Amino acid sequence: MPITLHDCPYCGGQTKKVHDYRITKLKHVKIAERMTILFYRKRRYVCGCGKRFAEKNPIVDRFQRYSKDWNQMAQLRAVKEKTFKETAEQYGTSVSTIIRRFDRIIPQALHKKQSIPPVIAIDEFKGNARDEKFQFIIADGETKDPIDILPKMIFNSWR
Ligand SMILES: [Zn+2]
């Protein structure tokens, strides 16, 4: 990352004075089907007010051990793969991490949909670690975007 003028999040002043660098180890998306780790040399700036803060970057969000790309991939895969377990195994992480990424994307996806698509796909979640809280996903059959998640009980009452 080039050194650029940064706004201080504490006093609102500006600085481009480097404080230090720290290597951050991040889990990243697979490259050629291999698990990939990024070593990001994260720069910290120091402001005239004495506060230090990390540079803006396109690689990782604050307090994350996974790259932004990885998180985006995990959110998509959590919805599209058959089971959370399968997704977790394939991307070298825990089932609970995949479920958290899944929860992150679902409310967003639900609010976006305004009209009913011409093709609807209904899929069952198998091997769900979460005691049948979510059982069925209804998705746009063409784009595969999720439309709704239903508990099993509601779904059964339709039939
Ligand atoms: Zn400052």
56: three-class secondary structure by DSSP: coil
CA of 42 to the centre of ligand 1 (A): 19
**Tens-digit pLDDT profile for residues 4-25:** 999 999 998 999 999 999 999 9
- 134/123: higher pLDDT: 123
Residues 145, 68: Cα–Cα separation, whole Å: 20
Q: What is the mean pLDDT of the chain?
A: 84
Ligand 1 center–CA 10 separation, angstroms: 5
Q: Residue 6 has what pLDDT?
A: 96
Q: Are 26 and 15 in contact (CB under 8 A)?
A: no
Q: How many CB atoms lie within 10 A of CB 51?
A: 15
CA 143 to ligand 1 centroid distance, Å: 46
* Interval 84-130: pLDDT, tens: 998 899 888 999 999 888 887 776 666 665 677 889 888 776 545 45
| H-state helical runs in 21-148 | 68-80, 84-90, 95-112
Predicted confidence (pLDDT) at residue 59 exceeds the cutoff of 90? yes
Q: How far is the CA of 129 from the centre of ligand 1 (A)?
A: 46
pLDDT tens column, 33-57: 898 999 999 999 999 999 999 999 9
User: For residue 67, what are the CA distances in angstroms to 9, 13, 45, 107, 123?
Assistant: 22, 29, 21, 22, 29
Do residues 123 and 117 touch, judged by C-beta distance below 8 A? no
DSSP 74: H
- Tell how far the Cα of 25 is from the centroid of ligand 1, in angstroms: 27
Distance 59 CA to ligand 1 centre (A): 24
Could you state, in order of their start, the residue ranges of all structural domains in the chain? Answer: 1-65, 79-159
pLDDT cut 90: percent of the chain above it: 42
Query: Measuring CA to CA, how many Å separate 49 from each of 9, 45, 55?
Result: 11, 11, 16
What gap in Å lies between CA 32 and CA 156, rounded to an integer? 42
pLDDT at 78: 85
Q: What is the pLDDT of residue 116?
A: 77
